[in-house]
Amino acid sequence: MRKIIHIDCDCFYASVETRENPSLRGRPMAVGGDPQRRGVIATCNYEARRFGVRSAMASGYALKLCPDLILLPPRFELYRAVSHAIHAIYHDYSDLIEPLSLDEAFLDVSGLDHCRGSATLMAAEIRSRIEREIGITASAGIAPNKFVAKIASDWNKPNGQFVVRPEELDAFVAALPVEKIFGVGKVTAAKLRQLGAVTCADLREWPLTRLVREFGRFGERLYELCRGIDERPVAPDRPRKSLSVENTYAYDLRGHAVCHDELLRLIDDLRRRLERTAEEAPIHKAFVKIRFTDFSQTTVECVDTRPDRATWQRLLDQGLARSDQAVRLLGVGVRFEERKAVPEQLSLW
Active-site residue numbers? 104
- Report the alpha-carbon angle 220-226-232, nearest 5: 65
Rounded Cα distance between 151 and 99, Å, is 16
Residues in the chain: 349
CB 240 within 8 Å of CB 281: yes
Give CA–CA dist 269/132, Å, rounded.
40
43: closest CA among 194, 166, 206, 157? Answer: 157
Tell me the longest C-alpha to C-alpha distance in the chain: 74
Residues 287 and 333 sit within 8 Å (Cβ to Cβ): yes
Q: Is 26 left (phi over 0), alpha (psi -120 to 50) or beta?
A: left
Between CA 339 and CA 79 the distance in angstroms is: 30
How far apart CA 177 and CA 328 sit, in angstroms, is 34
Can you list the positions of beta strands (E) in the chain? 4-9, 29-32, 41-44, 70-72, 97-101, 104-108, 138-143, 161-163, 242-253, 283-292, 297-303, 327-336
Q: Is the peptide bond before 144 cis (omega within 30 degrees of 0)?
A: no
Task: Please list, residue by residue across 240-249, b when 16 or more beta carbons sit within 10 angstroms of its beta carbon and e when fewer do.
Answer: eeebebbeeb
Q: Which of 288, 336, 285, 278 is nearest to 315 (CA)?
A: 288
User: What is the CA angle 310-289-32, rounded to 5?
Assistant: 130
On whether 103 is known to bind a ligand per the annotation, the reply is yes
Instruction: Give the phi and the psi of residue 224 in degrees, each rounded to 5.
Output: -75, -50
State yes or no: 230 annotated in a binding site: no
- In the annotated binding site for Mg(2+), the residues are 8, 103
- In the annotated binding site, the residues are 8, 103
